[in-house]
A and B are shown apart, each in its own frame.
Chain A
Amino acid sequence: MVLEATMICIDNSEWMRNGDYSPTRLQAQSEAVNLICGAKTQSNPENTVGLLTMAGKGVRVLVTPTSDLGKILACMHGLEIGGEMNLTAGIQVAQLALKHRQNKKQQQRIIVFAGSPVKYDKKVLEIIGKKLKKNSVALDIIDFGEEDDGKPEKLKALLTAVNNNDSSHIVHVPSGPSALSDVLLSTPVFTGDGEGGSAFAASAAAAAAGGGSFDFGVDPNIDPELALALRVSMEEERARQEAAAKRAAEDAARQEKEGGEQSSSSRDATMAEPTNVLDPGTDAKGPDTMDDETALLEQALAMSMDDPRASQSGTASMGDTDMSEATHEDQELAYALQMSVQDTAKDSSSQTDMSKVLGDQTFVSSILKSLPGVDPNDPSVKDLLASLQGQTEEKKEDEPPKEDEK
């Protein structure tokens, strides 16, 4: 919110016909000037901006410092290219224009676009710089366009002569895909002394980048109602998902208490943070088309959402994987798991499913193969599998009495 009067010095010399900054260097400067004017007046409404050209027939002041943006934009049209840039005269005329500003309380600042080669030597530039510093005028130099030998050093010398307390800056903009104005947005020329300037820069950058910096691709400045509506609906959706996830977590936790299996509960913990709505239809896919863990996650979720069809297949696969994991640890544990899994699924069809799946030797061995540290050809594992299959047959008869015991 610094109160400032700014004079912008544009280079309209012959070098500005070049197209390495699209569309031409002069056009790139015009856009940058537009952005600067906007930023300055937005950060403080009493700021004023003026414009002058340094080349052509001579240094010419187009607009004296004013807060009327329309005047400045109008002057930018019809700028003619020609001649050579006169940097020292340009800066001195800018200083004079600032001296006669209407509001003497404003700080003085000059912004120079140095696109063509600098033909003055360092000494002269340093004297100019000292004079600016003495009269407390800040200077921003934008070095682009021609890359001369010695141009960066000369401009650097000018900057050190002027710089008082870091109020002056220099920016080097190489030619490239991004526009001159876009590169400048992130530099101290815009963000320098005021926080208001950076807010403008942020919104301008968002507009330029297609709304990337805003949550919903909509600039709240441009369309506040739409942005608000989007945000409210997003939050409602998120709340609904969180409620669903909490319910799912509670259901799964209740079921797992009987089983006492740790890995499932950890999976339930991850299940409690769904970031997108899961499609129960995906559970119908065969597990071997998906990652084991993903399948398990989604099936557990589907289970807790009380989808009977999905839950059974989920139970089957979950029980399947659980048991495969446990097989190489403890047979008793595997047995207990099997029981708990069976308890949750009360239908006989679930038994059938499970036994069918278990009976599919190839499937089970493929599952085992994917587990680290389990060798399906290990005889103990093979025995276990055989015994499990046998137990499955028994379970059908033993299940009712077992339930009575529980």
Chain B
Amino acid sequence: MACLHDHSCEDHDCGSQWSLYKHIDIPKVSALNEATAGSVKSIFKAWELRLDTSKIDAVNMCFSDKFSFDINGNTVLGFLESNEGDPELLIFIPFTCDVKIKSISVVGGADGKSPSKMRAFINRDNIDFSDAQDMTPLQEWELAENLQGMLEYQTRYSRFQSVGSLTLHFPDNFGGDSTQIYYIGLRGEATQLKRDVVATIVYEVMPNPSDHKTPTDHGGGMSEV
């Protein structure tokens, strides 16, 4: 479902609602089938800057008119582009804390270079294209060309309650050679809680009863094995 902003955005402070980008773990954001490695990091920014495609200083996340370079010396583009001739894109977005996602906004490129479909998976690391094509997504949307960033796509909120990482798969575009994405906006709440990660698991071949004492064993007067 898409909805348009039915108010003039200057009065209503829309930008503050689209502030989930602050909770994205930017260094760990990755994408498959991107033409320039690392360009995916530049599409998560403040809502006010969603149409701004000037070069981003990837280290300081500030804008500059000059060319800027990432660690490998590649020019950091202000947008994400897929490889020539292949419109598929897969973006992995980890968060620094669990978030609840209310809606997603995507600004694509002109001339048919906008993505036409979006499929979302949550809390799965290391999905690649064959996995993404086979698995059923948590939710799927048909996108429209959204060059101004006014369209947002709502989520089934109950399913997006504790999201540690979000993976977005864009299988197709509107006919262009490649797919360009200038901005991805996320709206929702951050819970400030870190998702529980099971650190160590110990498997027992045979249980050792002394490891599994409970208070009732002593009080109940049962004999120890």
Contacts and interface: CB of A to CB of B under 8 A. Distances in A.
Interface of A: 99, 104, 130, 133-136, 164-165
A165 B83 CA distance: 12
- CB-CB nearest 10 A-B residue pairs: A104-B126, A134-B33, A135-B128, A165-B37, A136-B32, A134-B129, A135-B32, A104-B125, A135-B129, A134-B86
B74 A165 contact: yes
Given A165-B37, A165-B72, A133 B128 contact: no
Nearest to A165: B37
Residue of A133, A134, A136 ringed by the most chain B CB atoms within 10 A? A134
B152 interface: no
Contacts of A130: 83, 85-86
Given A165-B37, A165-B72, 12 more contacts: A104-B126, A130-B83, A130-B85, A133-B83, A134-B32, A134-B86, A134-B129, A135-B32, A135-B128, A136-B32, A164-B37, A165-B74
B57 interface: no
Contacts of B32: 134-136
Interface in B10-35: 32-33
Interface of B: 32-33, 37, 72, 74, 83, 85-86, 88, 125-126, 128-130
B87 to A, nearest CB: 11
For the complex, would chain A's binding face be called helix, strand, loop or mixed by DSSP majority?
A: loop
B38 to A, nearest CB: 10
23 contacts: A99-B128, A99-B130, A104-B125, A104-B126, A130-B83, A130-B85, A130-B86, A133-B33, A133-B83, A134-B32, A134-B33, A134-B83, A134-B86, A134-B88, A134-B129, A135-B32, A135-B128, A135-B129, A136-B32, A164-B37, A165-B37, A165-B72, A165-B74
A104 B94 CA distance: 15
Nearest to B31: A136
Contacts of B86: 130, 134
A99 B85 CA distance: 24
A109 B225 CA distance: 53
Nearest to A104: B126
B132 to A, nearest CB: 11
Nearest to B74: A165
A134 B171 CA distance: 13
Contacts, number: 23
A133 B83 CA distance: 9
A394 B129 CA distance: 106
A298 B125 CA distance: 77
Contacts of B129: 134-135
A352 to B, nearest CB: 78
Contacts of B72: 165
A371 to B, nearest CB: 62
Contacts of B125: 104
Contacts of A165: 37, 72, 74
Contacts of A104: 125-126
Contacts of A99: 128, 130
A135 B131 CA distance: 11
A342 B86 CA distance: 94
B24 to A, nearest CB: 19
A224 B130 CA distance: 51
Contacts of A135: 32, 128-129
Contacts of B33: 133-134
A104 B28 CA distance: 13
Contacts of B126: 104
A130 B33 CA distance: 10
Nearest to A131: B129
A20 B128 CA distance: 42
Contacts of B74: 165
Nearest to A134: B33
A130 B85 CA distance: 10
Contacts of A133: 33, 83
Nearest to A105: B126
A104 B128 CA distance: 11
B52 to A, nearest CB: 26
A331 B86 CA distance: 93
A164 B74 CA distance: 12
A99 B83 CA distance: 21
B45 to A, nearest CB: 24
A3 to B, nearest CB: 14
A136 B90 CA distance: 12
Please indicate which of the listed interface residues B74, B88, B128 has the most CB atoms of chain A within 10 Å of its own CB.
B128
Contacts of A134: 32-33, 83, 86, 88, 129
A104 B86 CA distance: 24
Nearest to B86: A134
A134 B179 CA distance: 14
Contacts of A136: 32
A104 B85 CA distance: 28
Contacts of A164: 37
Nearest to B82: A134
A165 B70 CA distance: 13
Contacts of B130: 99
